[in-house]
Structure 1
């Protein structure tokens, strides 16, 4: 088995955790606000929901943005025959950082700290991409 797929599956699993958390908070909040889901036409229709509820949904959406690059890089690593220990450590670090980012955004949402965590994850992903690109282009 290609171990680089384990962090990929872990991040996909975490995305589903955030999906469940989003609906576990959004549906009761919509009911409390007496919103009719059939009448919602755009994201701004959800603006009356509490900020805490929207933060969780925002994070769920964020897990479909930059992590797509992570998935692509990891699939390239898998196609090349697997990860070395550095790539594997970076992949797991990225997953851990994204989980911390999610928890930060969904709870206290202190933006300066969240930005620092996001930046750290971006650097880790960049290094993972760089070592993979060097491997691809070096032949």
Structure 2
């Protein structure tokens, strides 16, 4: 596999995480309705999220914040032939940080751990953008 297309494997892994969180949210919502802790109508207004699925819903929202910048920089690095082994390693570490962040978010939801994992992902994402800028500058 050419290194230029290898950048899409972390992208696919990140998309798989998003799909997994969607599935988990649907399961938790369905279980809440079956258990009687929520009504189907509770989900009509997005601002109202019953407790059993609230952290999963918030985790899903998180997947459309920082990861959007990740998706974009991966495509841009591919289009400009800026993919190398350092970029790939950072991309995989970013995805690992997002998996870890999501796991904490939908399980224990311990803010201190979640915040640290977010910062790690933020720094990794910033690093990808910095490497992209350096690549464009020809340095």
TM-score by length of 1: 0.89
Check conservation: 1:4, 1:82, Cα contact below 8 A: no
* Equivalent position of 1:15 in the other structure: 18
Q: Counterparts of 1:62-101 in structure 2 under 5 Å?
A: 62-81=62-81, 83-101=83-101
Aligned counterparts of 1:12 and 1:91: Cα–Cα separation in 2? 13
Structure 1's consecutive aligned runs of 4 or more residues displaced over 4 angstroms after TM superposition are none
CA spacing shift, 1:34–1:58, aligned 2, 3 Å: closer
Provide Cα deviations, 1:42-72, integer angstroms capped at 9, x if missing partner.
22332xx22x421111101110111000000
After superposition, the CA RMSD in angstroms is 1.7
* Equivalent position of 2:46 in the other structure: 43
Paired residues, number: 135
Check conservation: 1:22, 1:56, Cα contact below 8 A: yes
CA spacing shift, 1:10–1:42, aligned 2, 3 Å: same
Flag structure 1 segments of 5+ consecutive residues without an equivalent. Answer: none
Aligned counterparts of 2:12 and 2:112: Cα–Cα separation in 1? 29
Q: Counterparts of 1:110-125 in structure 2 under 5 Å?
A: 110-125=110-125
CA spacing shift, 1:41–1:19, aligned 2, 3 Å: closer
CA spacing shift, 1:114–1:129, aligned 2, 3 Å: same
TM-score by length of 2: 0.89
